[in-house]
Amino acid sequence: MSSGRPLRQDTRSARTRRADNPQEALVELSVTQFITLDGVYQAPGGPQEDSSDGFTHGGWSAPYDDDAFGEFMVSVFEKVDAFIFGRKTYEIFNSYWPEHNDPANPIAGKLNSLPKYVPTATLDTAEWPGTELLHGDLVKEVTELKSRPGRELQVHGSGELAQSLLANGLVDTLHVLTFPVILGSGKRFFVDGAEPAGLALTQTHGTSTGVVISSYRKVGPPTYGNFEAE
């Protein structure tokens, strides 16, 4: 295990910290997910990312890059204090970003300099500086990270991890980037058995290439009604 600059450490309990300083903001968790119109999140950046189950559509997000897309991603990275990645996403990022460490690039700079947490049962060591492997209970580990003062703990990609965090009510903000493509196969982000949740749309806009970028905040359980005439 290698450790980098941690989230701002404080040994007091979250309740004690809030009592001492009611204005102190604790870490929130955000998820940024790329999906197709039919909900697939698998291998958006290239065929080498994930070809499991015979998936042959890797790289489906690449043709839709434009300035608006890039500006949104930079705006997300401006809020980050630390990252949490699933193992597969971590390995993909680790194979690229350490070799592209341009401090002038706001995304590369953040990824290479800030703490990176990886819940894993298979990795024992991590070479990317700033990485800490989490071998304990996911909910307890993430809850502890969120109890610290700071800005955002961010998940990018990491579909299975993001699904688990959503199911356990740990996600505060969800950024969904929907790409104008239908694949008909692949791993889907919102699957049967997902935890029901009510969300508030905080912003949405489209890019010149047709990507719809929408951000949501967690507001609680869904509400229901009907359109029956009285």
Question: What string of pLDDT tens digits covers the 230 residues of the chain?
Answer: 344 444 544 444 443 444 455 456 899 999 999 999 999 999 999 999 999 999 999 999 999 999 999 999 999 999 999 999 999 999 999 999 999 988 889 999 999 999 999 999 999 999 999 999 999 999 999 999 999 999 999 999 999 999 999 999 999 999 999 999 999 999 999 998 888 999 999 999 999 999 999 999 999 899 999 998 76
Alpha-carbon distances, residue 194 vs 88, 162, 188, 206, 223 (angstroms):
21, 11, 11, 27, 16
Give the CATH number for residue 52: 3.40.430.10
For 86, the domain range is 14-220
Whether pTM exceeds 0.75: yes
Domain total of the chain = 1
Of 218, 221, 226, the C-alpha closest to 29 is 218
Instruction: Let me know if residue 187 belongs to a domain.
Output: yes
In a domain? residue 3: no
Is 225 part of a structural domain of the chain? no
> For the chain, what is the total number of helices (H) and then of strands (E)?
6, 8
Q: Is position 4 within any domain?
A: no
Is 5 inside any structural domain?
Answer: no
| 208 part of a folded domain | yes
Q: Do the domain assignments include residue 102?
A: yes
Q: Is 142 within a domain?
A: yes
**The two structure tokens encoding residue 139:** 């909910």
Instruction: Find the Cα–Cα–Cα–Cα dihedral 207, 165, 28, 200, rounded to 10°.
Output: 50
Contact present, 147 and 11 (Cβ < 8 Å): no
